[in-house]
Structure 1
Amino acid sequence: MDLHVQALNALNTAITAITNYGLNFLAAILLLIVGWFGSRWVARLLNRGLSRLKACDEMLRHFLTSAARYGVLVLVGIMVLEKFGVQTASLITILGAAGLAIGLALQGTLQNIAAGIMLLAFRPFKVGDYIVAGSLAGTVEGLSLFLTDITTPEGIKVVVPNAELWNKPITNYSANPTRRQDFPVGISYADDVDAALAVLLNLAGEDDRILADPAPQAMVTNLGESSVDIQLRAWMKADDFWPLKWDMARKIKLAMDASGITIPFPQRDIHIHQA
């Protein structure tokens, strides 16, 4: 009789365990399904919200949505493990310690990722901009979470870690649609200053690339040792900056020659007095 009771108790215990395990298994499957589709829903919702922000780059948007999705999946995984009696507190501690060790080992890489996120979020430059950062100058060809590709004016490709770029002052010459340029020239003390200034203003008026507003200015900037230094100050579109710089240097020389205005070279007069 006792054996029969023990057998029934063992059977009931087994059935209860199987039932509980089965329910936990079904709950875990349900959690995985809900978590899978829920993570995709969260990612789509976040992507939709971030896409409305002009300051949010496509790469940054992709990174944030992916991080949100995998974050939801990690939480779901922890909940599933709890259903099977796994001590998640210990698991979280182990994962935290492992994450700390990996973080210390990949400190430089993580700095580049953090800097990449900052560059994508604050957008001090975009692809196609001409920038100067420290001793590096060139056109931005690509930006990722780890590296920035820059091509120098000589056509040399430079791959820069984002952390190095973020920690330096960045000058962006393409950020504004217009730029000002000064065209200096020296004339002889014997020449007519007003006539020389008029030549500069006429050149500015004849070139359609020079903007009328703000209006070009011509001025005397210095009385040098061998020349009167004058200057044309003009605004132009950023894309016209370098072509105008080269064209105007030639035009100024030809116009001064045509007007009989001398562009002197540095010289010293030596007077010899006989005793």
Structure 2
Amino acid sequence: MEQQATEFFVASQAALGQASALLVQYSFSIVGALLLLCIGWLAASFVQRWAFEGLSRIRGFDETLARFFSGAIRYVILILVIVMVLGQFGVQTASILAALGAAGLAIGLALQGTLQNIAAGIMLLVLRPFRVGEYIETSAVSGTVIEIGLFATELKTSDGLYRLAPNSTLWNVPITNYSRFPSRRHELSVTVPKGESLAEAQDTLMNVARSNSRVLLEPAPITFIDSVSGDTATVKLRYWARSEGWWATTRDMTKAMKVAFDERAEVTASQPAE
């Protein structure tokens, strides 16, 4: 029993000695690693703020895109700091970088569709085919843009519904932006039967255009005979209105045209036949 106790005491002393030697050996590495982690964390946060402020000062650079790039820079710095810390303890950093590369490739293949949306979101934020508040239309979706994210774009349809469109579906198709330019053109047409004056019909359409203050004077409204078919002719009015009130202007102009031609028909009917 005494011999076993002596052997245990000797083994304990040897273990404590080895632990002390290891503690002394790696104490400087541990302290250096902790300092490196603290400095790296502070440096990553500082560089992130500096990059975000610098990118935000670029005219036309989207805030979402600035946050994405500044956050990516921060995480790259943190990964490099962690690799450097592991190198302090003798870990082979080359194998770590190879493993990170393989993991990144595997994640990229698994999230291929998501990465396509991110790439499309970056291109949409850089090239700006549409902005928040503009009304757009594609072959698959239409509505007013609420928010442009890195993964998807939020829209509000004309009937007040919420719609979420993946960015890849907006990037790979033609987009019609109804709000980008300040003015838009509209056409009104009326069929004039045989025997009625085409010049009077054109004058009536021009009077309708001049009576609406929302019809732009430049470009000036014009009327013309669009087609002749049998006993009828089609007369058209082209005019321009501001995009923000285009829909209401077209409705008012359509109503005003109908009223004007009804009044013209009543006047014609009340005149005595020669």
When normalised by structure 2's length, the TM-score is: 0.84
- Cα distance in 1, alignment partners of residues 216 and 142 from structure 2: 27
What corresponds to 2:247 in structure 1?
242
Task: Identify which of 113, 120, 124 aligns with 1:115.
Answer: 120
Structure 2: gaps of 5 or more residues: 1-17, 268-274
**Counterpart for residue 149 of structure 2:** 144
| Rounded Cα–Cα distance in structure 2 between residues aligned with 1:24 and 1:34 | 15
Q: TM-score, normalised by structure 1?
A: 0.84
Distance 1:235 1:28 in 2: 69
Where in structure 2 are the equivalents of 1:88-167 lying within 5 Å?
Answer: 88-167=93-172
> Partners of 2:227 and 2:31 in 1: how far apart?
87
CA contact (8 A) 1:188 1:228 kept: yes
Q: Which ranges of 4 or more aligned residues in structure 1 deviate by more than 3 Å?
A: 13-20
Task: Check conservation: 1:187, 1:261, Cα contact below 8 A.
Answer: no
1:183-229 deviation line (CA, Å, top 9, x unaligned): 12221231111111111111111111111111111111111345211
Deviations 1:32-78 (A, max 9, x none): 22211211221122112211223211111111111111111111111
Deviations 1:240-261 (A, max 9, x none): 2111111111111111122239
Task: Give the 3-state SS of the residue equivalent to 2:218 in structure 1.
Answer: coil
Q: 1:250 to 1:35 in 2, by over 3 A?
A: same
For the Cα contact (< 8 Å) 2:145–2:156, is it kept in 1?
yes
Q: Which residue of 2 aligns with 1:210?
A: 215
Of Structure 1 and Structure 2, which has the larger fraction of its residues in helix? Answer: 2
Do structure 1's residue 40 and structure 2's residue 45 form an aligned pair? yes
**Of the candidates 246, 256, 274, which is equivalent to residue 261 of structure 2?**
256
Aligned residue identity for 1:184: S
Which residue does 2:89 correspond to in 1? 84
Return the alpha-carbon distance in structure 1 between the equivalents of residues 152 and 118 of structure 2.
9
Tell me the equivalent position of 1:230.
235
Matching residue's letter, 1:44: R
Name the CA distance, whole Å, in 1 between partners of 2:141 and 2:233: 35
Residue number among 67, 71, 96 corresponding to 2:72 in the alignment: 67
CA distance in 2 between partners of 1:40 and 1:131 (Å): 38
Q: Percent identity?
A: 43
